[in-house]
Structure formats: C-alpha cells, structure tokens
Amino acid sequence: MGRLRTLFAPETVAVVGATDREGAVGRAILENLEADFHGDVVPVNPNRDAVLGLECFPDVASAPSVDLSVIVVPPPIVLEAIRESAQAGVENVVVITAGFSETGSDGATRERELRDIAAEYDLNLVGPNSLGIMSTQTGMNATFGPENALEGSVSFMSQSGAFITAVLDWANEQGIGFRDVVSLGNKSVLDETDFVREWGADPETDVVIGYLEGIDRGDEFVDAAREVSDDTPVVLVKSGRTDAGAQAASSHTGAIAGTESAYEAGLEQAGVLRARSVQELFDWARALSGLPAPSSDGVAVVTNAGGPGVLTTDAVGDSTLEMASFTEDTLERFRETMPEEANIYNPIDVIGDADIERFEMALDIALSDPNVGSAVVVSAPTAVLEYDRLAEVVIERREEHDKPVVTSLMGGSRSRAAEDVLREFGIPNYFDPARAVSGLDALARYRAIRETQIDEPDTFDVDRDRARAILETARDRVDNRLGVEAMDLLEAYGIPTPTGEIVDDPADARQVAESIEGNVVLKIVSPDISHKSDIGGVRVGVSDEEVYDAYEDVVAKARNYQPDTTILGVQVQEMLDLEGSTETIIGMNRDPQFGPLLLFGLGGIFVEILEDTSLRVAPIGESEARAMVDEIQAAPLLRGARGRTPADVDSVVESIQRLSQLVTDFPAILELDVNPLVVGPEGVQAIDLRLTVDTENL
Amino acid sequence: MGRLRTLFAPETVAVVGATDREGAVGRAILENLEADFHGDVVPVNPNRDAVLGLECFPDVASAPSVDLSVIVVPPPIVLEAIRESAQAGVENVVVITAGFSETGSDGATRERELRDIAAEYDLNLVGPNSLGIMSTQTGMNATFGPENALEGSVSFMSQSGAFITAVLDWANEQGIGFRDVVSLGNKSVLDETDFVREWGADPETDVVIGYLEGIDRGDEFVDAAREVSDDTPVVLVKSGRTDAGAQAASSHTGAIAGTESAYEAGLEQAGVLRARSVQELFDWARALSGLPAPSSDGVAVVTNAGGPGVLTTDAVGDSTLEMASFTEDTLERFRETMPEEANIYNPIDVIGDADIERFEMALDIALSDPNVGSAVVVSAPTAVLEYDRLAEVVIERREEHDKPVVTSLMGGSRSRAAEDVLREFGIPNYFDPARAVSGLDALARYRAIRETQIDEPDTFDVDRDRARAILETARDRVDNRLGVEAMDLLEAYGIPTPTGEIVDDPADARQVAESIEGNVVLKIVSPDISHKSDIGGVRVGVSDEEVYDAYEDVVAKARNYQPDTTILGVQVQEMLDLEGSTETIIGMNRDPQFGPLLLFGLGGIFVEILEDTSLRVAPIGESEARAMVDEIQAAPLLRGARGRTPADVDSVVESIQRLSQLVTDFPAILELDVNPLVVGPEGVQAIDLRLTVDTENL
C-alpha cells in the first residue's frame, strides 16, 4: 500500500463548502458521495445546521474524525479552509475550487501559498482546479461529475476533468470499470509521479492509465514509472505531440511544454506504453487488464473467413508480433480434424461451414502448439454459427491454456451479447480485427518492457577537478559559450581528442607542428565564428614549412569575416586519417522537464537533413548507450555495411556513457555538442566541441 | 450510365438452380430476391414445376425475358448453364457456384472454359465463387447472405464474400447504407477495374469502396481509377500489405501477388485513398459520402473541454490538415460574444458552462471565417448541454455554411440519439475525436487528388532503331543480361553518358585514352562480374602512359577472380570530376500487375541502407518525374543543402522521363538500372548500366 491509500479509502469524508443550493458544485459533490460511498460523509459549512438532511458542522475541527477534506469554498477562503483541515489533523485534501495559476498572476500567488501550506503540514493535496477523485472499492465519488465509475482494476488520472466526464459516460455504457480515478487539476502538490507510484504499490490496480498534457518532474517520473512498470503496465496519452497540439496544450494548462522529442525519449525509457489516441488508450488498457502476457510472439489466427483472416494477418504484420509457425505435430492434428478445404497453415481457415465444434477444435489445437503465444479468433456471421456459443468456447479454451486470446466476431447486433460475455472474462472483441491485434500487441510490448534489464550507469575514473576548471573559464565569456579551446574537458572525461595545442603566435604554431608527426590541421579559435570552414578558418594537410603562412592566413580570414572578432588563437592539431572513418555526433541538450537529453547520430546530412538521431535522458548505462547507436537508421554503416571495415562501435558506446557522466556531474552544462566525433576501426576522436555553461550554477 | 447498369437494375432475374430444399444456396438466393426485389424473380430448374410458390421453368430460354441469370447449379453443369443463358439472350450472369481455380487444376481448366464462353457471348459475368450482388435501388439481393443492405450512396466490392456478410451485419446496425454491392469471387471476367469504371459513371454512387487481395490488370486499373476519382472518391483496403499478409492472401486467393511497393505506387497514382483497416475504410467512406470537400485546409475546433480540444488538435497535426488562423474580424466577434475565460484562438474553448446558444454562436463565427475550410465540434457531457439539441445546431450551421463539419460528442448512451440524427445528415460522430478528424482528412486528401493535374508523358525525339539493335545483342547472352557495353542504349534515348569506348586490346585502349582529354577510367566489361570495383576491375585516374599496364591489370584481376570468366573487353572512359556531384540511381522493374515500375533514389547507402526511394508506374509525365525527385528524404541534398551548389535537378527529371519512354517503348526490357547516374550543377552522366531483356518479346 502506498502512502496515498487513505486518500482513496477514507472512512470519513468532509465536504468543506457543502450546500443544498441547486446547481452548486458543493451540492453535486455531496450528492455523489451520499449516493454510493460506503463510509461517512460530513458537510462542513458555518452557515448551515444541516445540508441535504445531514448534520452540518461549522468547521472540520468540530466534525468527527475526518480522513479526507474535499474543498469547494470560494477562492478567497480556500487557503484558510485548507489550513483549518490540516490543523484538525486531516492529511488528505482535494481542492475543487478553481481560480489559481490558470487564471493569472493573482491566482499564481495564491497557488504558491497553497503549496506552502501543503508542505508545512505534509498534506496529500489533489488540485486545485480538480473535478475530484473516485475510488470504486469504497464507492467513493468525490467529484462533481454526473457519473460514478464502475468497479474495475484500471486506475486512471487525467489532467483534464472534462476528459474524465466524457470517458466515464462512455465507459459505463461499454462496461469498462475503474479502480481509482483522479482529476489532477493544476497538480500543485500531488502529480502524475505520485499517482504512478501509488498505483504501482496497489495490488488491486492492474493497469495505470492517464491523460497528460505535461509531466512536471520528468526525471523522477521516468524513475517511478520504470520501477512500477515491472509489475504494472502504464499507458498514457501525452497530448501536445504535434506542434499544433503542443501550442494548444500550453494555452490550456499554461505550462511550458517540454519538447516532444524529450517526452518521446523519456516515456520510452520510463517503460510507458504511449497511446496516440483515446481509442488506443482504452483498447490497450482493456487487453492489459483482462489478459495475461503472451509467453512468446507467435500468434495463431483462427477464422472461418479468408478475407478477414488476411486482414488480421496484416495487422499482425504491422505489430511487434509475428504469425506463429506450427509444429509438425500441430499440422498433423489439423490434418486429422479439419476438412480438406481448410487452410491449416496460419491463418487457420476453418472455412465458412464451420460449426462451434470445429472452431473449438481448431482453437484448442492452435493454443496447444508451443510456438503459439496468443491467438485471435476472427469470424464472419454464418447460418451455422451462434456467436454466444462461440464466445463461451473461446473463454473456456483461453482459460484452459492460459494464453491471451482476443476476438473479432464481426457483425452488428448479433455480436453484442457475445461481446458482453467476452468482456466479462477479459476478452476484448472488436468489429475491426486490427483493433483486437493492437490489444495483443500492447500485451507483447509490455512483456518486452518487463524483460528489459536497465543497467546502472558505469562510473568511469575521470578528472572532475580539471573539468570544473575548464568550465569555469566560461565565466570570462560574454555568452558563456566554449569551443575547441575546451577540448581538455573531453580528455578529462576520457573521450579521446587528437594531439594538438592552441597557440597565439605563428612561431609557436610551427613548434607545435614540429612536435606532431606528419602534416597538421590549423583552425581558428574564436567564440564569434561557429562555422570555421565556411569562412576559410580551417587549413588541412599543412606541412611544418607551411605552418607559419597558414597561421597568418586563417587569422586574416577571420578578421576579414568580421574585423572586431575575438580571436583566442589558432589550434594546431594532429591530422587524422579519415579514410575508412565515419563522422558521428554526440551531444546533450538540457530539457526543462527531463533534464539532460543525450543525442547520437551520424554527422552531416544524417542529422541535418534526415534527422536520423537517437535520444536518451541521462544518466544511462551501457545497454542504453548501445541501443542509441543501434537504433539509428544508418547504424549498418558503422557495423561495416557495403564492404566497409566495421567501426569500433564499443568506443562510441563508451564515449556516450562518458558524456552521460559528464553532463550528470555538471548540471551547469546547458548544452554540449561533439561534432564530429570521428569513429574508425581503431576507436574515436573528438574533433570539435561546443558547449554552453550556466556559470551561476558551477 | 455504364454498360453494367442492367446487371444492377434488371427487370427480371432468373435463379438457375433454384430449389426449396432447406439450407440450399439456391433457396437462400430465391428467398432473398423474393423478399425485397422490385422486379420479377424466375426460378429455373428442370426438375420442379414450382419453387416456393413461384412457377419454375425448365430452362432460361423458356422463361419470360430474363436480364440477369444467377447461377447456383453444381460445378459439373455450370458451363452448360451459362451457355444456355447466353443463348437465351441473357447478357448478365452471376456465378455463385464454387469449385473453379480456387480448387486446383481441374477447376482452373473449368474456369478457362468459363472465360471463353463469356468472351464468346460478351457476357457481363460476376464470379464464379461469388456470394452474389446487391443493388438497393431495386431492392435486389441476389446473394445467399443473411442480410440485405440499407439504401445509400456507397458502392462496395469485395474479393471476400465473408467480408461482405460481416460488413452488412455491422453496417445495418450502424445505419450505414449502400448503392451496389458486389462479391467479386474469382474475378474470372468482371473485376475491380470494371466496377470502378461502372460506378464512376453512375451518378447515384458517391463513393466507391472495396476490399481487394490483388489487382489483376494493374495498369488499366490505374487509368480507370484515376479517371473515376475526378468525380468519385475510391477508397480501398488492399490486403497483403505486410509480408505475412501477402503470404496469407496468396494462399487465400491462389493469386500471385504483386509486390507491395508496386501496389503502393500504383494505388497512389490511381488517386485511390488506401485504408489500412476496416475502421479506416468506413470512417473515410462515411465522411466522403456525407460531406462536401473543404475548400481549404484550415480546420476550426470548437469545444467545451480543454483536454479533448488538445487531443483533437494533435489529430489535426497528424493529418494533412492544419489548424486555421482566424482573421482579426473573427477574433473580434469572439471577444464580443464569448466569456472572458474562453479561449478564442483555435481550438476555441467555449468552456464547461457553455449552453447550446454559445456553442452555436462559436461554430457560426468559426465557419464564417474565410480561413476555415472545415470544423470539428468536440464536447464533453455537461449538465447544461443536451446532445440532441447540439446535434441539430451543428446540422443547421453546417448546411448554412456548406462546409464539412464532423463531431465528437463524447459519451455513452447520451450520445446515441444525437449520433443517429447527425448520421442522417451525413455527419459522422465518434467518441474518439481522432476518428472524426480522420474523416475530414480523407475529404481534404480527396480534394487534393481531384486538384492534381496528371500531365501526359512527353515524347522525346529518340533513336528507337538503334536502341532495338542494342537490345537485340542480348540474344547472344546465355542470361539475357547486358551491362556497360549497352551504354549506347541510353545515348539513343538521350540520357548522357561519358565519352568512352570498349576495346579488347591494350593498344586500342591507349588510342582511345589519347583521344580523351585528361586522365581516364578503365573498367572490365564482363557479364559475369557485377561488382567490378570489388574485384579490382576498375582503375581510376589513369594517364595515357599508364593505360597499357592498367588494361593488363584489370584483365588479370578478372581472370584471377574467375578463370573462365567471359571478358567482353575493357571500357576506357572519360574521367568525370565528381567533386560537387551526387550519385543517384534511376531504374525500372517490371511488376506482374502494374508493369514498368520506375525507381529513383540517391546512390549507395541511401538506397541500400536507408531505402530512401520513390516509385512510379511508367509512363509518367514531367510533374510525376519531378515528384519522384522531390519526395525522397534526401532531396534537399540535390537542391543545395549545406552550402552545396544545387544540382541540375531538371536534367534528372528529364532522365527519368526518358527512361520512362524507353521502358514503355520496349516491354522486352524486364529490368534496368542506371547506377550511378551522377548529377552535378551542369547536368547528369550515366556511369554504369545493367539490364535484362526478354529476347522472345523483342
């Protein structure tokens, strides 16, 4: 049990601001509680002796021991009401009243005060600006919505109260039940992270679902959801996926949205199944709450109709699942029992004249096959098939084999009764077989999430003091940006860089060049020039003899480009043999919600035009770093596609991990790019670097 | 009216093989016809005098003038029955009987004979192995399915009879109606192309939909559908999209499936809206049959609930549509009429206490805005809102402004009555706003299809005789393959190639090299060696003096690789300055269904690893060729991204058109690849060529 259990299972609920005035929210909540709540309901209102026939108390302190206060008083006296409840020893508070940060600066001030009071008394506070909460176990409907939820095992949170109202109306018709329901409101105190944790600890919650427009503490949410999803699937619609949607979400909640790419990476790392639409949210939730996970990815499709069988097979092909190959033994059993015209290879077509017995036999044989992890039963209506009986048979076989089965008993009114029976036993039925398969797919993807071991970040032996010293040089910069002159930062964290030095004199340049074997590269070092090559600030393949002139040349080019440019010097660098090497990019951007977001991609067009990159929230361990390299589309290039010598991928993986450690150690690094990080068969070399430092936070 | 109108609107239908035996198909069809058909039904059966109380005739010739024969006699006498009908002057035949090509070689022989008879008498023949046909205008249900269709304007064909049964059962419950319904069966005579043409010519058909597992005459289908879709949208599920699905489809219909990429390209060119699932098929059909196309892509979202408004905005972001920006005038009207807390920017949030009047006002103002092409009304249930009245208001405003409006009046039972009313007026309502938007998107995409002008292929002045002569040299090859030795083929069709010659003597090589300015490239020419560079068969940057040795070298390398290799000679070619150039690929593969499929992509990894290619069915005109170049992901590279000099894209476009002409002129070219076609700022050069020729067809 989590610490929020009494919030959902109080014995006594006070409605602070209860009233019998028609149409008032304080009346609606009291009525809703009175209707189904197993515990006691106490109206609180200093101006009344009784409300709706219940004894009314002037304040919470004088009411009998209250576990939860639902506060609906007008905005000016909300804070006082909260404090009064807290002083009376109430730990759980739901603030229905609106008029806080969503309304402007006065409201925002009030919300800060609310947060202070909650912190002072360590309150479990939902809202403000919430529709309320429900918990079907105790019949508690502490909302002002028109419907109570049916009992079920899905716990549901929503950043939109209206969405809850809409969903409940629909779910009650569909026979979909819930465990707990929370309207998050402004999430001033308790937020999605708290409820994911709570429901993860609740044995009666089988699935956590949510509608969110933003996640406030992204990094903590990732940790919490990742842990919870070992036992309990978490399915979310995080809206504002698109640019238009993000703009709408931000005007709705007033929150600054993190970037979609950060949410995508963060939710993936959190083990969250992210639904794109309301339909997906509930299709997945239904499968996850009613069925066991498949032990393998092989799906058997059993149908009496070829066309719908092919449609179902396409849906399996679209999913992470695959069509099962039957064992010889299974095929033999099919041959013995099915008519000659039947197709006994997957999809199994028991053909149009199949009766219940043949369907049952086919499903039984299929589910007995060790290569079959799950099944889809698809049927067109025929004269010889009663859907009600087919439903019973499917339920029996499913339970006997303990493998997930979904159905598409296609049809209209004739499917309804069967659908109701199937639903009772956790089996979702849809007219469109693709939706049935989508539910199975959610089960399989959830199994994969559970099976994924997330390794702890490695801790490399690094020179943290040296790194700090380099970062501190950013204090001298107007814009807090550093470039190649900070390459030692990478060295300090064990990311290899070519031999070289920055000099401010052509003679020194020559001296450095002579100390380096072979020809060298000269680059202008200036915080004002970001595209050095474009202005002629780079000279490649310079021999010792040419160094002096080359030095003068790149400096002249820089002055030419911008007369008052700050020139920090010229970098004289070992010239790498780039033949057989690949340019990659590793970088980091700090996201307001999720923190340091690591990026990996191949250089040039791959990142800039094809946007072929992978992202992770730092810190990450080796397996995630390796996944970053593996999941870009161009990954085969590194592994040696087209006759290339394979690159030293391990060294890229290690560089990403070292970068992860660097940006975790120094929150002051706001963004950082190593571009390119050249990787060849012998390892990596960081050629160029740019970063921005928050010098206030060093 | 198309030539198949009497098939769907006969005055007299004969059921050949009619019987009153319980459970017989011949009885089911007779009963179905008797139930609703406005015309006359004539049972034909030599063994009966009457069937189900109707006078029964021994053959079609003795029956009163028959317009359509539905044949359900056993397989051995089907052909005779068809011939008898034909001889009696019947032009339209539906063959229900199964046991043809779907059952093996005897059946296949019988089907060929059936096709011959149909050709001999010029019959409009549906089937065999068909569930039958329906036409609601005359109440005709000439199928043995359990349900007749409701009246509507959607004409529906299906390669699966069971799919029709399933859909009708469901559609009747949903109130979705049809115009004509055809179970295509084995498509021995009439196929999808015929019905698309027919329904395109039928003013009562608003939308053509279909479930297909294969398209037999892909090229003709593309032409027919393209023409039809100028007036009538065509929406198809073509199953077998995935590898697993294609395998299942081929075992279901016994047809050899064309490749998915050919279907994708062909259906796109045909102007077909391709649905991925049953749900999409009907969601799109509903919108297309009930609503006008939006005149612009701007969508207004009007809602009483922030969260669902954001979800809807995301769905718009996912679609080809965009959120409309309101004019200042519109915003002013909103300011005057909406409460202060309302959001008057799109999505318009009229907030939770909105009554019908406020909703109506907001919708009216939004639809009056010239930037708004369509609208979505999204609502959560509230105490002040009656959905029935909201539905009426939406219908009125929609009709007044004549812009498409879809709805998501979210909820359960309270939405049903409103949904029914909305449906009657062509407005689809869904619980999930994303489905409502998907319907609007189908309307917008259909408008785009109508607006797209497909230009005629240009005819370039080419040397066809020279090309033929080169292709004929393939006769001398065991495998009918040609390589660089056939480069003149490209020259004959005006695709530039570098200066060069194939020689079989080192002295000749030197002579050719001397005639070419600068260094040259030497390449081994052998039908046995496809990766010349890999075996050392290419030498680049060879000076005149080095030519002799280089010649010997590449020949030695080839012999080393394979002692008995056929060596046609050595190509001595002008060396191109590839700096600033990009390698592209143009090619063609002949698809069994669609014919010549043109391919364009960037060379190397872009095609091989990233699969970044575009495809079209030839012949194509300039705009399609240009679209091929524009639609690859890496296209910005050609247009001059990252500071490159833009390539001469026009010359690539022209090369694709010339290739289109070549492969159209010579159906004997089975496949052809120009790889690379190098493109720089000054134009293109084809560097290498491979092709396979069907020498029998030259």
Picking from A167, A307, A323, the nearest residue to B244 by CB comes out as A323
Residues of A in contact with B248 (CB under 8 A): 309-310, 313, 323, 346-347
- Asked if residue B144 has pLDDT above 80, the reply is yes
For A432, B208, B267, B406, the CA distances from B237, given in Å and listed in that order, are: 13, 11, 11, 23
> Is residue A1 very low, low, confident or very high in pLDDT (cuts 50, 70, 90)?
low
- For B254, other C-beta atoms within 10 Å of its C-beta total 16
- Torsions phi, psi for B376 (to 5 deg): -120, 125
Helices H / strands E in chain A, number of each? 24, 30
Cα distance between residue B454 and residue B226, in whole Å:
9
**Ramachandran category for residue A570: left, alpha or beta (phi over 0 → left; psi -120 to 50 → alpha):** beta
What pTM does this model have?
0.94
- For B219, other C-beta atoms within 10 Å of its C-beta total 19
For A20, B377, B403, the CA distances from B398, given in Å and listed in that order, are: 41, 11, 6
B199 contacts B232 by C-beta, under 8 angstroms: yes
Mean pLDDT of B35-52: 96
Q: What is the mean pLDDT of chain A?
A: 93
Query: Closest chain B residue to A325 measured between Cα atoms?
Result: B244
Cα distance between residue B588 and residue B598, in whole Å:
4
Residues of B in contact with A244 (CB under 8 A): 313-314, 316-317, 322-323
- Torsions phi, psi for B101 (to 5 deg): -60, -20
Does B316 sit within 8 Å of A252, measured CB to CB? no
- For B99, other C-beta atoms within 10 Å of its C-beta total 17
Distance from CA of A162 to the nearest CA of B (A): 6
ipTM reported for the complex, 2 dp = 0.93
Tell me which residue of B276, B273, B274, B316 sits closest to B297, measured CA to CA.
B316
Cα distance between residue B21 and residue A698, in whole Å:
92
Collapsing DSSP states into helix, strand and coil, what is residue A315?
helix
> Is residue B253 very low, low, confident or very high in pLDDT (cuts 50, 70, 90)?
low
Lowest mean pLDDT among A123-132, A473-482, B304-313: A473-482
Cα distance between residue B2 and residue B35, in whole Å:
27
Residues of B in contact with A102 (CB under 8 A): none
Q: What is the mean pLDDT of chain B?
A: 93
Question: With b meaning 16 or more CB within 10 Å and e meaning fewer, what string describes A176-204?
Answer: bebbbbbbbbbbbbbbbbbbbbbbbbbee
Mean pLDDT of B139-149: 95
- Asked if residue A254 has pLDDT above 60, the reply is no
> Is residue B578 very low, low, confident or very high in pLDDT (cuts 50, 70, 90)?
confident
Does B244 sit within 8 Å of A314, measured CB to CB? yes
pLDDT of residue A566: 86
Mean pLDDT of B35-63: 96
Picking from A314, A383, A411, the nearest residue to B166 by CB comes out as A411
DSSP B112: H
pLDDT of residue A257: 52
> Is residue A255 very low, low, confident or very high in pLDDT (cuts 50, 70, 90)?
low
> Is residue B258 very low, low, confident or very high in pLDDT (cuts 50, 70, 90)?
low
| Structure-block tokens of residue B668 | 């004997």
Tell me which residue of B580, B656, B594, B586 sits closest to B625, measured CA to CA.
B656
DSSP B143: E
Distance from CA of B155 to the nearest CA of A (A): 19
- Torsions phi, psi for B679 (to 5 deg): -125, 130
Does B412 sit within 8 Å of A173, measured CB to CB? yes
Lowest mean pLDDT among A34-38, A227-231, A549-553: A549-553
Mutate to test the interface with B, among A100, A280, A283, A313 (most CBs of B within 10 A): A313
Picking from B161, B166, B310, the nearest residue to A252 by CB comes out as B310
Contacts of A568 (CB under 8 A, 6+ apart): A485, A502, A504, A525, A526, A527
Picking from B239, B349, B637, the nearest residue to A310 by CB comes out as B239
Contacts of B491 (CB under 8 A, 6+ apart): B497
Paired with A689 in beta bridges are A674
- Torsions phi, psi for B477 (to 5 deg): -95, 145
Picking from A243, A308, A414, the nearest residue to B163 by CB comes out as A308
> Could you give the residue ranges of the DSSP H alpha helices within A402-463?
413-424, 433-451
B408 contacts B416 by C-beta, under 8 angstroms: no
3-state secondary structure A670-695: EEEEEEEEEEECCEEEECCEEEEECH
B433-451 and A278-290 helices cross at what angle (nearest 10)?
Answer: 130
| Structure-block tokens of residue A264 | 């995508």
> What DSSP assignment string belongs to A619-645?
S--HHHHHHHHHHSTTHHHHTTGGGPP
Helices H / strands E in chain B, number of each? 24, 30
State pLDDT tens for residues B364-400. 999 999 999 999 999 999 988 999 999 999 999 999 9
Q: For residue B450, what is the enclosing H or E element?
A: helix B433-451
State pLDDT tens for residues A201-233. 999 999 999 999 999 899 999 999 999 999 999
Mean pLDDT of A436-443: 98
Cα distance between residue A91 and residue B658, in whole Å:
79
DSSP A380: -
State pLDDT tens for residues B14-34. 999 999 999 899 999 999 999
Tell me which residue of B373, B376, B378, B368 sits closest to B330, measured CA to CA.
B368
A94 contacts A127 by C-beta, under 8 angstroms: yes
Cα distance between residue B553 and residue A141, in whole Å:
88
Picking from B166, B314, B381, the nearest residue to A381 by CB comes out as B166
Q: Chain A to chain B, count of Cβ pairs less than 8 Å apart?
A: 279
Q: Which amino acid, one-letter code, is at A19?
A: T
Residues of B in contact with A241 (CB under 8 A): 314, 317-318
Q: For residue A464, what is the enclosing H or E element?
A: helix A464-472
Contacts of A307 (CB under 8 A, 6+ apart): B158, B159, B160, B161, B162, B163, B211, B213, B239, B252
Distance from CA of A111 to the nearest CA of B (A): 18
pLDDT of residue B564: 85
Tell me which residue of B512, B602, B524 sits closest to B567, measured CA to CA.
B524
Collapsing DSSP states into helix, strand and coil, what is residue B590?
strand
pLDDT of residue A253: 62
B267 contacts B236 by C-beta, under 8 angstroms: yes
pLDDT of residue A258: 63
* Torsion B492-B493-B496-B498 (CA) sign: negative
Contacts 24+ apart (CB under 8 A), B552-557: B552/B506, B554/B522, B554/B523, B554/B524, B555/B524, B557/B524
Collapsing DSSP states into helix, strand and coil, what is residue A237?
strand
Collapsing DSSP states into helix, strand and coil, what is residue A293?
coil
Contacts 24+ apart (CB under 8 A), B54-63: B54/B30, B56/B18, B57/B14, B59/B84, B59/B88, B60/B14, B60/B16, B60/B84, B60/B85, B60/B88, B60/B90, B61/B87, B61/B88, B63/B12, B63/B14, B63/B88
Collapsing DSSP states into helix, strand and coil, what is residue A573?
strand
- Torsions phi, psi for B682 (to 5 deg): -100, 0
Contacts of A492 (CB under 8 A, 6+ apart): A462, A463, A464, A466, A467, A470
Mean pLDDT of A492-504: 93
A10 contacts A33 by C-beta, under 8 angstroms: no
Residues of B in contact with A302 (CB under 8 A): none
Mutate to test the interface with B, among A311, A410, A429, A639 (most CBs of B within 10 A): A311
For A176, A202, B30, the CA distances from A139, given in Å and listed in that order, are: 16, 17, 57
- Asked if residue A531 has pLDDT above 80, the reply is no
Q: In what order do the strands lie in the sheet with A569-574?
A: A500-503, A569-574, A520-525, A538-542
B693 contacts B471 by C-beta, under 8 angstroms: yes
A218-228 and A192-200 helices cross at what angle (nearest 10)?
Answer: 10
- Asked if residue B194 has pLDDT above 90, the reply is yes
- Asked if residue B1 has pLDDT above 60, the reply is no
